Amino acid sequence: MTLALLLGSMLGLVFLGVPLAFALLGASLLTLLVTRPGLPLEVVPQFFIQGMDNFPLLAIALFFLAGELMVSSGVTRRILAFAQAIVGHLRGGLAQVGIIASFVMAGVSGSAVADAAAVGSVLIRSMKQAGYPAAFSAAVVATASILGPIIPPSIPMIIYAVLAGVSVGGMFLAGVVPGILIALGLAAVAHRRAGQLALPRTARADRATVARETGSAFFALLAPLIIVGGIRGGVFTPTEAGAIAAVYVLAIGAAIYRGLDLSKVAGALVRAAHGTASVLVVLGASSIFAWIIADQGISRDFAATITGLGAPPWLLILLFNLMFLAIGMFLDPIAALIILVPIMIPLLPELALAPIQFGVMIVLNLMIGMCTPPVGYLIFITGGIAEVPAGQVVRQSLPFLAVLLVVLGLVSYVPAITLTLPRLIAGG
């Protein structure tokens, strides 16, 4: 009854076009009035503030800023030029360029939407001019952008870590191997599709060009290495890594690449503030939502129901993956995490899943949902840049989505893929 009222009212408000934060607040207030009529409403703003008052969440603002500064300073173009010099001569080389650029960008921004917009705005036009099908170009960039929230740092993984009470650094490390597997798989599919579509080749860059572009992009390429290496080596925390990333990108953008001035920095600050505020206000509203779930024993009852089914863990994991994929097709990833994580955490022992492994699994599910209709943020972003209908982009994305599903299966059923690095490096 309580769960139906809470979720039903929230989803109803969302489908009516109410912003997510207000939908969460409205659903929570309605449920409190029905189930706890004597509860002082003063607790609502208290929970709202508590939901945002969490030190690891500061990393979200800092990584947003680092990503915006990368785009504003022209670092993205240098990364693309470097990748073009390295692999551009291969058949379908521009597709490989997009995958490499997304991999590098993922090591700074932590956002799929930011990566899709930054890489797509530059690369898709070049691919079309070189004779690549527009829908294929958009599909490559959309699916490669999923690397943003998988390769550390990752904004969705920060949110999951806060909701689940696990280490942010552990979550970051857990995403490294799956991210590499995704990049390699996408590159293999792009190479195969390039042959099937008879995509054009470009001339191999000479050594001087490779050296020039490598030197030009050198400091940009160092950014993800500094972030990941510093976290892995215990030099700084993930939150401190966000600050270092922002300062580093600001320094190289202004002093070395000379692509930043005060107006561009101000614009990046404003956009980062908007992005951060949109996430934090949802997290504040979600804290009330999560408290109701705990107060009403919804997580406990759900876990007891699933346990009572007596199904084997492998089957439950498969069913939950299907459920997460379906939810990801309709809901924003942050909203889905807020709803699912408090309910699912008590079930993890029954599923024989470590919290960190489950975190990568659910984030990857929701990111795949961003490449599928009807919501499909990444499809609509890249399709809009390429000026092609979303349906055509989805069809061209299918071989790449198959790679993502294979990696999802490995993450779900092979714990070593996500747990080896955290155990070796962070002791977790």
Q: Is residue 44 part of a domain?
A: no
What is the predicted pLDDT for the residue at 82?
86
Q: Is residue 47 part of a domain?
A: no
Give the model confidence (pLDDT) of 211-263 as tens digits. Answer: 888 888 888 888 888 887 787 777 888 888 888 888 998 998 888 888 888 89
Structural domains counted in the chain: 1
Tokens 């390295």 correspond to 86
What is the predicted pLDDT for the residue at 400?
95
Can you tell me the distance from the alpha carbon of 169 to that of 181, in angstroms, rounded to the nearest whole number? 20
What is the predicted pLDDT for the residue at 428?
47
Q: Is residue 18 part of a domain?
A: no
Give the model confidence (pLDDT) of 304-336 as tens digits. Answer: 777 777 789 999 999 999 989 988 887 778 878
Q: Residue 268: is it exposed, middle or buried by C-beta count within 10 angstroms (0-12/13-18/19+)?
A: buried
Q: Is residue 32 part of a domain?
A: no
Q: Other C-beta atoms within 10 Å of 80: how many? A: 25
Alpha helices in 88-206 (DSSP H): 93-106, 112-129, 134-144, 147-150, 155-164, 168-174, 176-196
Report the chain (428 residues): mean pLDDT per 10 consecutive residues.
79 82 86 83 82 80 86 82 83 86 82 82 84 91 92 89 88 93 94 85 82 87 81 78 88 86 91 86 82 78 77 91 87 83 87 94 93 81 88 92 96 95 73
> Which structural domain range is residue 122 located in?
55-426
Q: Is residue 156 part of a domain?
A: yes
User: Side chain identity at 379, as an amino acid letter?
Assistant: I
Q: Is residue 14 part of a domain?
A: no
Q: Is residue 9 part of a domain?
A: no
User: What DSSP letter does each residue of 53-87 carry, written as one string?
Assistant: --GGGHHHHHHHHHHHHHHHTTHHHHHHHHHHHHH
Q: Is residue 19 part of a domain?
A: no
